[in-house]
């Protein structure tokens, strides 16, 4: 549950990070969902969803659309990523019109999501708030690493792997986009925002390089 | 997980893929610290980790003992065979428009033990559940963790599971809004006694005028509501209007 809720990082970066979800309710509307799932996928693709997937198959960054669609069952969980508020608005307009009867959920920065709902003339029903991280936080990785790992809510991305990818990009063995795809592939669900991840990696690597140059000059 | 020592070449490519940091190289072969391993299965995902020798395998009998809890609470591809309930938690807010699990006047709380990154043991989980038990919390029936309790009123975990470790275990329950302050105070108190972290979630039903009056109450308690949230759009049918 709540696996898209605790994404972290600077707010401007998070404003480019939305998740969309299709959800069937056990015992109510969870039979023969494939035609409805296809409506969700068509709407998401029409507005350019950057990544999407089915936890039972895997993400679009790793599997072809046809492979995921072929494997849709009533147990599937279809969800994905948008990077712009305008996509959310258009997606919601389509899903409201299609009226599939399945639950629709959007995760994102609330000051972006609520105006998008208003523009799409959709009335929010309920909300799940993140009240932050508690406990022994001393053992957590740094904020930049967390902003990358928390985009996989099942926490399948090890901080050590983020470090490894950063190192590969620094050494020129991978581009930031390639590293971001490798990280996205850890996330079964397709909610990993590889576009935002690539931006974070580029920014971090560039800043480290600039620091190195500055210290050399000193 | 296990590594076939005959196949392993000791290349170490697998090391950064383990969320538990359980893999090391010993005598030129990769070894797994079984106590640390969450059984998440990352290391055997052939389309993610490219072990050149395909040396990883699941230990025989994994699903028959208490160690199965590691698998079910760590690997999203599994369905909980002990509890018969899939996933680590419920559908929470995602289907709240249809289930009405949290209606006006109530809040839903989830304590995601071990998230982010650090993982948790059942011993840490019990510190929280047993403290909540003193408040008469009714733990969520549809959450697999509840089924690992030996006394749901006290919130104690079955002793045989206490040493198991996992990526996360989610404590879920609903309470009236009037009970929020004492419950949050208990959660804050236990937070200071843990060796791991947790992420805290609160589900709330929008008021008829679209307002969310719970936010100032939380702020008065010193709780900072984060700017990102998960919003159910009320498009599920039949919709719960309460």
Are B98 and B185 in a shared domain? yes
Are B14 and B131 in a shared domain? no
Are B39 and B100 in a shared domain? no
Q: Is residue B136 helix, strand or coil?
A: coil
Report the residue count for chain A.
Answer: 218
| Total of domains in chain B | 2
**Residue B232 falls inside a structural domain:** no
Task: Check if A38 contacts B (Cβ < 8 Å).
Answer: no
A172 Cβ contact list (under 8 Å, min separation 6) = none
Are B111 and B190 in a shared domain? yes
Q: Which residues of B touch A135 (CB under 8 A)?
A: 191, 194, 196-198
Are B230 and A107 in contact (CB < 8 Å)? yes
Confidence of residue B22 (pLDDT cuts 50, 70, 90): very high
Are B39 and B105 in a shared domain? no
**Residue B97 falls inside a structural domain:** yes
d(CA A98, CA A105): 15
The stretch A31-51 carries a mean pLDDT of 97
Are B55 and B100 in a shared domain? no
Task: Check if A158 contacts B (Cβ < 8 Å).
Answer: yes
Tens of pLDDT, residue by residue over B127-157, are 999 999 999 999 998 888 999 999 999 999 9
Are B97 and B20 in a shared domain? no
Q: Which residues of A touch B47 (CB under 8 A)?
A: 58, 62, 185
- Separation in Å, CA of B143 to nearest CA in chain A: 10
Are B112 and B210 in a shared domain? yes
Are B228 and A141 in contact (CB < 8 Å)? no
Are B117 and A128 in contact (CB < 8 Å)? no
CATH 3.30.70 intervals, chain A: 14-119
- Scanning every residue of chain A, which has its alpha carbon at the shortest distance from the alpha carbon of B215? A129
Task: Check if A160 contacts B (Cβ < 8 Å).
Answer: yes
DSSP A144-199: HHHHHHTTSTT--S-HHHHHHHHHHHHTTSS-HHHHHHHHHTT-SSS---HHHHHH
**Residue B229 falls inside a structural domain:** no
Q: Does ipTM exceed 0.85?
A: yes
Are B112 and B54 in a shared domain? no
What rounded mean pLDDT belongs to chain B? 92
- Run of H or E residues at A58: strand A58-59
**Residue B240 falls inside a structural domain:** no
Tens of pLDDT, residue by residue over A168-201, are 999 999 999 999 999 999 998 999 999 999 999 9
List the domain range (segments joined by +) for residue B26: 2-60
Are A108 and B118 in contact (CB < 8 Å)? no
Spell out the CATH class of A14-119. Answer: alpha beta
Task: Check if A109 contacts B (Cβ < 8 Å).
Answer: yes
**Residue B71 falls inside a structural domain:** no
Q: Is 60 exceeded by the pLDDT of residue B84?
A: no
Q: Is 60 exceeded by the pLDDT of residue A2?
A: no
Q: What is the CATH number of the domain that holds B99?
A: 3.30.70
Which residue from A5, A126, A140 is facing B97, i.e. has the nearest CB? A126
**DSSP state for residue A24 in the 8-state scheme:** P
């Amino acid at each position: 549950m709540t696996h898209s809720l605790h994404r972290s990082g600077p707010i401007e970066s998070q404003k480019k990070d939305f998740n969309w979800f299709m959800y069937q309710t056990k015992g109510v509307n969870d039979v023969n969902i494939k035609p409805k799932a296809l409506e969700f996928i068509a709407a998401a693709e029409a507005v350019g969803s950057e990544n999407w997937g089915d936890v039972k198959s895997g993400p679009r960054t790793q599997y072809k659309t046809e492979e995921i669609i072929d494997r849709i069952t009533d147990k599937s969980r279809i969800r994905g990523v948008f990077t712009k508020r305008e996509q959310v608005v258009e997606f919601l307009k389509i899903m409201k019109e299609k009226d599939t009867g399945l639950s629709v959920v959007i995760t994102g920065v609330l000051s972006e999501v609520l105006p998008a709902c208003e523009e799409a003339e959709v009335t929010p029903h309920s909300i799940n708030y993140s009240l932050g991280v508690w406990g022994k936080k001393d053992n957590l990785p740094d904020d930049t690493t967390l902003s990358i790992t928390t985009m996989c809510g099942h926490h399948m991305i090890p901080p050590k792997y983020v470090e490894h990818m950063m190192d590969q990009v620094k050494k020129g063995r991978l581009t930031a986009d390639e590293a971001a795809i490798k990280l996205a592939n850890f996330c079964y669900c397709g909610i990993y925002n590889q576009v935002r991840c690539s931006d974070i990696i580029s920014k971090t690597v560039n800043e480290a390089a600039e620091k190195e140059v500055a210290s050399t000059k000193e | 997980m296990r590594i076939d020592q005959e196949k392993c070449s000791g290349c170490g490519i697998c090391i950064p893929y383990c969320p538990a940091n359980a893999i090391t190289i010993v005598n030129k072969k990769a070894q797994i610290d079984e106590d640390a391993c969450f059984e998440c299965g990352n290391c055997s995902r052939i389309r993610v980790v490219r072990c050149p020798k395909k040396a990883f395998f699941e230990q025989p009998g994994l699903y028959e003992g208490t160690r199965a809890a590691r698998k079910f609470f760590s690997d999203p591809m599994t369905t909980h065979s002990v509890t018969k309930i899939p996933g680590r938690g419920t559908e929470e807010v995602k289907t709240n428009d249809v289930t009405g699990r949290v209606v006006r006047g109530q809040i839903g709380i989830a304590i995601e033990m071990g998230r982010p990154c650090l993982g948790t043991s059942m011993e840490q989980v019990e510190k929280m559940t047993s403290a909540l038990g003193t408040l008469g919390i009714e733990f969520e029936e549809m959450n697999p963790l509840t089924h690992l309790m030996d006394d749901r009123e006290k919130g104690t975990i079955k002793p045989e599971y206490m040493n198991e470790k996992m990526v996360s275990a989610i404590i879920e329950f609903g309470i009236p809004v009037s009970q929020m302050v004492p419950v949050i105070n208990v959660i804050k108190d236990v937070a200071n006694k843990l060796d791991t972290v947790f992420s805290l979630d609160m589900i709330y039903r929008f008021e008829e005028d679209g307002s969310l009056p719970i936010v100032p109450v939380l702020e008065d308690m010193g709780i900072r509501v984060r700017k990102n949230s998960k919003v159910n759009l009320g498009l599920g049918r039949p919709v719960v209007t309460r």
